[in-house]
Amino acid sequence: MSDGATRIAAAFSDSGRRAALMPYLMAGFPDIDTSVRIATAYADAGADLLELGVPFSDPLADGPVIHAAATRALESGATVHSVLEAGTRIAEQIPVVLMVYVNPILARGPERFAAELAQRGISGLIVPDLPLEESEPILAACDAHGVALVPLVAPTTPDDRMATIGRTARGFVYTVSVTGTTGERTSNQSDPATLLARVKDHSTVPVALGFGISNGAQAKAAADAGADGVIVGSRLVRAVAEAVDQGADPASAAGSVVAELADALVR
């Protein structure tokens, strides 16, 4: 197992909760230094891993909350370089999985991109617009540098395809809980237990559930349905945005949401 995959596996197995808690952070929103402070607040509040989002101009898989945060991060000057530097600082506190759209990876080249993640201590990579069909060059680069390329599966993914994805999964499988983009939803649209069972049948690595999970009850339900990890994004980005707009401290605002989620996942 690669360095990155080992650190991710340990984060899942050592979490001590019903499921590992993986909050999402939009890097550079509202600015780089504040996002590093928010990451520290996540770690202090009980997060097991951190999904670090690279702001992108055209985030096709994201709903309005994360899209708006990405736009504001870019407007305030975030670059891939400054985000990766922040990743170095965050990875000293908590295992980091980078979430980035494919074009910034291609812009640097998969080889250079993966090498830089490894050098910075970033454990894994999630690319929401990189399906199996297109993943080979980036998977090879990640494997060569010990970075876990985490694949996504969706409710629309058929079983045979899930099996193929499961065979090339590194770190964990990111299970998209709903047919849609990221964003808070009042209820889990469909029963995630059936979907999670299908994914687990085809995977040897942990299975995390994300998209639409925004509160403790939903996080607990995800764990009860069999998720090894729970990913929460838009709810936290909204907490940061509201704090920024109200002149409050975004780190403590987002940290308290993470604490609530962590409480809900206590065994």
Partner 1 sequence: MSAVEHRFGPYGGQYVPETLIPALVELEAAWVAAREDAGYRAELDALLNDYVGRPSPLYLASRLSEEAGHAVYLKREDLNHTGAHKINNALGQTLLAKRMGKTRIIAETGAGSHGVATATACALLGLECIVYMGTEDMRRQQPNVLRMELLGARVAPVDAGSRTLKEAVSATIRDWVSNVSDTHYVIGSCVGPAPFPALVRDLQRVIGDEARAQILEKTGRLPDRVIACVGGGSNAIGTFTGFVEDASVQLIGAEAAGEGIESGRHGAPLTVGGRGGVLHGSFSAIMQDEDGQILEAHSISAGLDYPGTGPEHAYLRDTGRAHYAGVTDGEALAAFKRLAELEGIIPALESAHAVAWVLAAGRETATEDTVDLICLSGRGDKDLAEALDKLGLTHE
Q: Which residues bind partner 1 (CB under 8 A)?
A: 56-58, 60-61, 63, 67, 71, 74, 79-81, 101-108, 128-134, 151-158, 161, 176, 179-181
The question of whether 14 is a catalytic residue gets the answer: no
Catalytically annotated residue among 51, 116, 184, 228: 51
Q: What is the dihedral of CA 85, 17, 186, 68, to 10 degrees?
A: 0
Burial 77-115 (b: 16+ CB within 10 A, else e): ebebebbbebbbbbbeebbbbbbbbbebbeeeebeebbb
Contact 219, 213 (CB under 8 A): yes
Cβ proximity to partner 1: between 15 and 35 the closer is: 35
Task: Work out how close the CB of 202 gets to partner 1 at its nearest, in angstroms, rounded to a whole number.
Answer: 14
Task: Work out how close the CB of 57 gets to partner 1 at its nearest, in angstroms, rounded to a whole number.
Answer: 4
Catalytically annotated residue among 62, 116, 184, 228: 62
Dihedrals φ, ψ of 88, to 5°?
A: -60, -45
Would the CA dihedral through 55, 57, 62, 63 be positive or negative?
positive
Cβ proximity to partner 1: between 81 and 167 the closer is: 81
The question of whether 224 is a catalytic residue gets the answer: no
3-state secondary structure of 155: coil
3-state secondary structure of 207: strand
Task: Work out how close the CB of 244 gets to partner 1 at its nearest, in angstroms, rounded to a whole number.
Answer: 19
Task: Work out how close the CB of 236 gets to partner 1 at its nearest, in angstroms, rounded to a whole number.
Answer: 20
Cβ proximity to partner 1: between 3 and 85 the closer is: 85
Cβ proximity to partner 1: between 15 and 214 the closer is: 214
Residues assigned a catalytic role: 51, 62
